[in-house]
Homo-oligomer: A and B are copies of this chain.
Amino acid sequence: MPAPRVIFSAGDHALVRAWAGDLLERMRRHGGGPDGSVTRLVYTPEWCGAMAELEDWMTVAGLEVRVDAVGSRFGRLAGSLADTVLTGSHVDTVPRGGAFDGAMGIAVAACAVRWLREMVGRPRLTLEVLANCEEESSRFATGFWGSRAMLGLIRPDEPDWIRDASGVSIGQAMWACGLDPALIPTARRSDLVAFIEPHVEQGPELEQAGLPIGVVERIVGVRQLRITMDGVAGHAGTLPMADRRDALAGAAEVVLAVEAAAREAGPPAVATVGVLEVEPGGFNQVPGRARFSVDLRHDDPEALAALEERIRRAVDRIAAGRGLAVALERPFAQAPVDMDPRLVETIERVCREAGIPWRRMPSHAGHDAQVLAGACPVAMIFSPSRGGLSHRPDEHTDLDDVARAVRVLVGTLQQIAY
């Protein structure tokens, strides 16, 4: 039986715009700074506050709230079947990030499910709003803690050995929030039939094209390299230029080679040196060691491999030319992940019928959807980021665009769950 077409008026737009705006403001308070920044790291008091706020909001909205073993919150609208369509995003932020990355996806999902409950009623498939505990790896190098818990991918030793900068293990941090790490296996889900993640684009494409919706086709592949170049430290006055093996000068050449490689590969290739540390680090000391990261992304796996290969060759050539020793690790590699084509088509049909312009696009950032793709068909709905800015205090998405994302998600959930 085809689902009836949703009627979503200008009044509904205004209503969900107000709901979403209120919820985003309420979440911003938890970790918000005077400069507009939000710092909400997993298992901190700010994070606990945001989770309590969401529980309260979802309860008032008539959703049944559940907490899983890692602390993710689920706001349930039970359907006639237990098979569950999950929608939402993550609660945590980067340090001094903004109020939209993660939070907007939760707000869009929460408002869509609330609207469906109030305006359409009980669904056939169960709907759940996901407030995922952790995605950003900004306190712990966790790699999608909440999503991995849902897939049963957290190894038993991880709660103890994953530690934050002050040496607190993620297991200890969980206990501080009343969560028992021994129960992590209970977070595993086998009832998921789809996951739809609304999220801010975090880039400039939608704004530049004047489009309110992006329908993600694929999440780009990512490779991260960690490189240490070792030369010889020395006194900035007494070590003649001809005798130097300056690790920072070598790293500087690599920074420029990384940039050139991505520019020459052309869009959507990107490559970034975001971390660079110099030792010994005194103003009058020739650097003996430079440690830095390289982050490479491309939506084509072969092009990504070629980009990495080109950068590795540049590192070797530069190190050989300067007499530097190199240690290179690849701590992270993620192949491109395709979104489910049928979900993508459904979202596009909803956009078309609602008269909301959209484009298909890749996601250049990693998201929970790429992990949950291991459990069920997944899709993502992007909203424009003002100025393409993200992970910054001034990250912003217009509330009318947030409401349009709610409208598209409402239509999509209505198509698949009713």
Contacts and interface: CB of A to CB of B under 8 A. Distances in A.
Given A235-B365, A237-B364, A295-B236, A276 B274 contact: no
A246 B273 CA distance: 9
A280 interface: yes
Interface string A200-221: 0111110000000000000010
B274 A281 contact: yes
A188 interface: no
Contacts of A272: 236, 246, 284-286
A249 B276 CA distance: 11
A319 to B, nearest CB: 15
A390 B252 contact: no
Contacts of A241: 259, 262-263, 267, 269-271
A287 to B, nearest CB: 6
Interface string A248-273: 11011101100100110001111111
A371 interface: no
Q: Choose among A255, A268, A390 the residue with the greatest number of B CB atoms under 10 Å from its CB.
A: A255
B267 A236 contact: no
A301 to B, nearest CB: 16
A249 B238 contact: no
Given A238-B365, A249-B256, A284 B295 contact: yes
Interface string A363-390: 1111000000000000000000100111
Copies, count: 2
Residue among A204, A273, A286, A293 with the most chain B CB within 10 A?
A273
B270 A274 contact: no
A392 interface: yes
Contact of A390 (B220, B234, B287, B366): B234
A270 B203 contact: no
Contact of A202 (B235, B263, B268, B280): B235
Contacts of A13: none
A246 B259 CA distance: 10
B267 A242 contact: yes
A417 interface: no
Nearest to A273: B248
A249 B271 CA distance: 11
Contact of A224 (B205, B239, B280, B283): B283
Contact of A253 (B256, B268, B274, B391): B256
Interface centre among A94, A202, A262, A276 (most CB of B within 10 A): A276
Contact of A243 (B204, B255, B273, B385): B204
Contacts of A295: 236-237, 283-284
A40 B143 CA distance: 42
B203 A297 contact: no
A172 to B, nearest CB: 23
A240 interface: yes
Nearest to A366: B237
B94 A282 contact: yes
